[in-house]
Amino acid sequence: MKTLLVNGAAGTSKILVGESIDNLKAYIDAAHTVVITDSTVEGLYRGRLPDCPVITIGQGERIKTLETVTEIYRQLVALEADRSTFILGVGGGIVCDIAGFVASTYMRGTRFGFVSTTLLSQVDASVGGKNGVNFSGYKNMVGTFNQPEFVICDMALLKSLPPREVLCGFAEIIKHGAIASAPMVEFLEAHRDGALDLNSDIIAHLVYRSVEIKAGVVSRDEREHGERRKLNFGHTFGHALEKLTGIPHGEAVGIGMVLAAKLSVEKGFLPREDAARLEQLIDRFGLPVSPPVDLAAMLGAMKKDKKREGKRIHFVFLDAMGSARVEELGFDDLFHLASAARIA
């Protein structure tokens, strides 16, 4: 097991890469803990969780709402949870985003931590302290920045994931390589088969490197005033695609990265061969690379992105494999750039 630290304004978060869910008792006091999880995870791991109350929510992006949060508050009140209660989110990105938001707001904040059970959540969603829910059909519109005390990333749990869910995790791993580490991209190219087979050494390396990259960025810019924006590579188009089509987050981000790389070429920032190489890598990891909707529809959805400032948006480009840059663009400029790049 290796520990990485995320330094946030309100405290330090320990990311425990390779820790086992069976060692949970070392990190919590079961007598003062309430677990928040979803029905699938509860079915798989209930017997390995501490003996404490469990609040079970449904699944999928559609339950990431204030209504779900309200229902959890109701159950916490019924359980007589108080400010000494520890909230333990056990699940993927949706459970962790909701549990973190509930813990940050219930009675103005309780302590919390996560057991992260999906690849996407281990390499990205559970790390970095972004908690929240969707609102009015838009992603992550309401939320907080607040770091969990710990995140257990037990890679043995990944074996029970559906294959499509695993692929979504690889989208965020590829993203970390694309924005911050050319050697990681080379590693993914060289070890694609072993990675897809969830070979334990290969997965351990990829989860560790992803968390290391993300922990560094978040520790330098927790509130996303600058460098953290780079973690949104592929997400401007990605969030629009999720909203328009309902495809899973990782698939939408995979397509979003292909489109953002094409725009980077059009801008003159990225050699065409690098954009083609990234597209090939995403394709080899079994992720879609073409948008199922047209450019006008994607731009329409982007205009309601929460990161929009008036008619402008921060857009993440690549300027080399392993290096990203952020530019502020007007929607008209984005439309012209995307039209010229013939992305859809």
Taking the complex as a whole, the smallest distance from the CB of residue 172 to ligand LNCXM5UN amounts, in Å, to 6
Please say whether the dihedral angle defined by the alpha carbons of residues 79, 83, 84 and 89, taken in this order, is positive or negative.
positive
User: Is 144 annotated as a binding-site member?
Assistant: no
Q: Please answer whether residues 97 and 130 qualify as being in contact, where contact means their C-beta atoms are separated by less than 8 angstroms.
A: yes
Q: Does position 92 bind ligand LNCXM5UN by CB under 6 A?
A: no
State yes or no: is 164 an active-site residue: no
Q: Does position 228 bind ligand LNCXM5UN by CB under 6 A?
A: yes
Q: Please answer whether residues 307 and 313 qualify as being in contact, where contact means their C-beta atoms are separated by less than 8 angstroms.
A: yes
Q: Does position 232 bind ligand LNCXM5UN by CB under 6 A?
A: yes
Rg (CA), the chain: 19
What is the token pair recorded at 309? 């400032």
Helix (H) or strand (E) holding 153: strand 150-153
State yes or no: is 232 an active-site residue: yes
State yes or no: is 307 an active-site residue: no
CA atoms within 13 A on the CB side of 156: 8
The C-alpha atoms of residue 96 and residue 88 are separated, in whole angstroms, by: 9
The residue number with the shortest CB distance to ligand LNCXM5UN is 140
Q: Does position 128 bind ligand LNCXM5UN by CB under 6 A?
A: yes
Taking the complex as a whole, the smallest distance from the CB of residue 22 to ligand LNCXM5UN amounts, in Å, to 28
State yes or no: is 2 an active-site residue: no
Q: Please answer whether residues 256 and 289 qualify as being in contact, where contact means their C-beta atoms are separated by less than 8 angstroms.
A: no
Q: Which of 64, 175, 229, 235 is catalytic?
A: 235
Of residues 235, 262, 267, 314, which one binds ligand LNCXM5UN by CB under 6 A? 235
Taking the complex as a whole, the smallest distance from the CB of residue 253 to ligand LNCXM5UN amounts, in Å, to 7
Q: Does position 139 bind ligand LNCXM5UN by CB under 6 A?
A: yes
User: Is 37 annotated as a binding-site member?
Assistant: no
State yes or no: is 186 an active-site residue: no
DSSP secondary structure code for residue 268 in this structure: T
Q: Does position 256 bind ligand LNCXM5UN by CB under 6 A?
A: no
Q: Does position 168 bind ligand LNCXM5UN by CB under 6 A?
A: no
Site size for ligand LNCXM5UN, by CB under 6 A? 12
The C-alpha atoms of residue 244 and residue 85 are separated, in whole angstroms, by: 38
Please name the residue that has the structure tokens 């992603």: 139
What is the token pair recorded at 205? 């390396």
DSSP characters for 297-335?
A: HHHHHHTT-TT-BTTEEEEEEEEETTEEEEEEEEHHHHH
Q: Give Cα separations from 68 to 105, 132, 272 (angstroms).
A: 14, 11, 45
Q: Does position 222 bind ligand LNCXM5UN by CB under 6 A?
A: no
Q: Please answer whether residues 208 and 17 qualify as being in contact, where contact means their C-beta atoms are separated by less than 8 angstroms.
A: yes
**Interface stretch with ligand LNCXM5UN, choices 45-53, 104-112, 223-231, 261-269 (CB under 6 A):** 223-231
Q: Does position 176 bind ligand LNCXM5UN by CB under 6 A?
A: no
Burial of 21 (0-12, 13-18, 19+ CB in 10 A): middle
Q: How far apart are the first and last CA of the chain?
A: 44
Of residues 124, 154, 242, 266, which one binds ligand LNCXM5UN by CB under 6 A? 124
Footprint (CB under 6 A) of ligand LNCXM5UN, residues 271-330: none
Binding residues for NAD(+): 117-118, 130, 139
- Where do contacts with ligand LNCXM5UN occur on this chain (CB under 6 A)? 124-125, 128, 130, 139-140, 172, 224, 228, 231-232, 235
**Which of the residues are catalytic?**
108, 130, 172, 214, 224, 228, 232, 235, 239, 249
